[in-house]
Structure formats: structure tokens, C-alpha cells
Amino acid sequence: VQIAADDPLVVVQALRTVRRLARGTAGTRWLMAGFTRAPGPATHRNLMGQLDGTGNPDLADPAQRSRILLSGPDAPAWLAGGSYAVVRRIRMLLEHWEGLPLEHREQAVGRRVADGAPLTGGTEFTPADLDAARPDGVPVIAANAHVRLAAPASNGGATMLRRSWSYFDGLRQDGTPDAGTLFVAWQNDPRSAFVPVQRRPARTDALARYVVHESSAVFAVPGGAEPGDWVGRALLAP
Ligand code: HEM
């Protein structure tokens, strides 16, 4: 269960209510608390200081939404109208990252820190030109830049919707921040979206050096319910 609200007090209250109502039927194995910016534009800054969410698919178009997010014809009937969420707790090595020169941080991602624009120019939502090269032949967006390796164009069209949260759980015993991203990626089939994309960055991505993947899970998320019905009934009480 993911509980979100503009006001953290509401989140805690909802969590306590859900736990109380579920008593005897379902319990809590683990719980993580995250945050994002105040309500506003779709993109936010993550704890590495980068604008995050820019390259997400535009799901205003219902055809795209159902192609990218909603379960397809191969999915079990109980998942109709549902989706899959990959959730990862990814700690950021912030002290290491923050000590790097700006140019290095921008090359690792392929976008400018100040405004999120691709290093090939324009503004935040200008498409990145992955083919652009300097006169000496060196690509403007580095071969190992995160946006190059994660882009659908580099992964046979693999597309996901990232809706991540930041977390800050104080300091670790060594004094470094216990902080990073609660990465959440939605898609209709992780085998053709998250998995192939993660396999590549895990090996070669320039960002990989500055993060530690601490835990990972994948959830099948049933679709919404009509009034009077309840979420997951087709699975739990068919
Ligand atoms: C803490 C770890 C990570 C950080 C700090 C991070 C940061 C970023 C940033 C700054 C961008 C560019 C802005 C944007 O489009 O949102 C981006 C893009 C992206 N990231 Fe990550 N990311 C992380 C992990 C991951 C992981 C694990 C995946 C999936 C395996 C992923 C997939 C993507 C995708 C698909 C894009 C869009 C690429 C495009 O088409 O432009 N990221 N990420």
C-alpha cells in the first residue's frame, strides 16, 4: 500500500486507519517514509540536486497510458486494469557526489543541474540529441550518461513511469547520510521495461558509482474499484 498526501499528518492518520481496519487479516512487514516537493510541476529535485521525472512518458494520452501502464492481454484476469510497480530503496553516496565538479555531475546524467536541460541544449523538455558529437567526435552526452543508457531509444522502446520519493533517515554509524531515493517505476510488464533498463545501467551507468541499491521488490497492483466494490476482489474473493 502506498499512502500519499500533501500533508504528512494525513499520511500518518491514513496509515493508522488502514492498519487498524486490516487487523486480523493483513499485517505490516516493512514500512518506508518518503517525501517530495510541495505540490506544483511534475518534476522535482531529488537529493542529488537533479530535476527528476523530465523524461517520463506523457500519460495524458489514454492510448499511451494503457500501452505503458495497464496490464495487457497476457496478464491474469484479476490484474485487468492493474499495473506493476518496481520499488527500490537506492541510497545515494551524497558526500562523494557533492564533492564532484559540476561538469562531472552533469556528464554522469547527461542533463544540466540548473534547469534539467539536456547537455545538447534547449530547455528542460527539449528532447536530448543522443547523436550529437563535438568536432573531435566525442559525444556531447557521454556514452555512459544515465539518460542515454536509460532512454527507451537505447532499450528497444522499454518505457516506464517513474514516480519516486526521496528519503532521509538520519545519519549512518559512519556519519554519512542514510538518504536517497525510494525509486518507484510503474509499467505493464517489468520484464520488458524495468528489467532490461536496470540490467544495462547496473553494469555501465555513470551514476551507478554514486548509489547503492539496498533493497528491491516488484508488486502486482490491481486496478481501481467501482463504488461498492473493493480493490483486489477478483484475486482475493473471486
Ligand atoms: C538514485 C538513483 C537514480 C537517480 C539519482 C536517477 C536520476 C535520474 C535523472 C536526474 C534523470 C533525468 C531526468 C529525468 O528524465 O527524470 C533520470 C532519467 C531516467 N532514469 Fe533515472 N535515476 C536513478 C535510478 C534509475 C533507475 C534504477 C532506473 C531504471 C532502471 C532509471 C531510469 C530512468 C529513465 C528511464 C530515465 C529517462 C531517460 C530518458 O528517456 O530521458 N533511473 N534519472
Residue showing cell 467501482: 226
Q: What distance in Å separates the CA atoms of residue 232 and residue 219, rounded to the nearest whole number?
A: 13
Name the residue at shortest CA distance from atom 15 of ligand 1.
55
Distance in Å, CA 39 to ligand 1 centroid: 21
Do the beta carbons of residue 126 and residue 135 sit within 8 Å? no
pLDDT at position 85 is 97
Please list the residues that pair with 219 across neighbouring strands: 85
Residue ranges in the chain whose pLDDT is less than 70: 201-202
Contact 5, 11 (CB under 8 A): yes
Q: Which atom of ligand 1 is nearest to the CA of 198?
A: 30
DSSP calls for the chain: -----SSHHHHHHHHHHHHHHHTTT---S-----B-PSSSSS-EE-TTS-EESTTS--TTSHHHHHHHTS--TTS-GGGTT-EEEEEEEEEE-HHHHHTS-HHHHHHHHTB-TTT--BTTSS-TTSPP-TT-B-TTS-BSS-TT-HHHHHSGGGTTT---EE--EEEEEEE-TTSSEEEEEEEEEEES-GGGTHHHHHHHHHHH-GGGGGEEEEEEEEEEE-----TTS-TTHHHH--
The residue whose CA is least distant from atom 37 of ligand 1 is 55
Closest residue (by CA) to atom 41 of ligand 1? 55
How close is the Cα of 29 to the center of ligand 1, in Å?
28
Q: Which residues are catalytic?
A: 52
CA angle 164, 166, 170 (to 5 degrees): 155
Distance from the alpha carbon of residue 183 to the mean position of ligand 1, in angstroms:
9
pLDDT at residue 20, rounded to an integer: 97
Which protein residues touch ligand 1 with a CB less than 6 Å away? 46, 48, 50-55, 90, 92, 109, 111, 146-147, 150-152, 162, 180-181, 183, 194, 197-198, 201, 207, 211
Instruction: Give the pLDDT confidence score for residue 201 in this predicted structure.
Output: 64
What pLDDT, in 10s, does the model give residues 135-144? 999 999 999 9
Pocket test for ligand 1, best of 37, 52, 166 (most atoms within 8 A of CB): 52
- Count the neighbouring beta carbons within 10 Å of the beta carbon of residue 64: 13
Distance from the first to the final alpha carbon of the chain:
21
**Closest residue to atom 6 of ligand 1, CA basis:** 52
Between β-strands 177-187 and 211-221, what pairing exists: parallel, antiparallel or unpaired? Answer: unpaired
Place of cell 510541476: 41
Q: Give the pLDDT confidence score for residue 171 in this predicted structure.
A: 98
Count the Cβ atoms, other than its own, within 10 Å of residue 194.
Answer: 23
Q: Distance, CA 133 to ligand 1 centroid (Å)?
A: 22
Q: Which pLDDT value is given to residue 202?
A: 65
Distance 150 CA to ligand 1 centre (A): 7
Evaluate whether 68 touches 56 at the Cβ level (below 8 Å): no
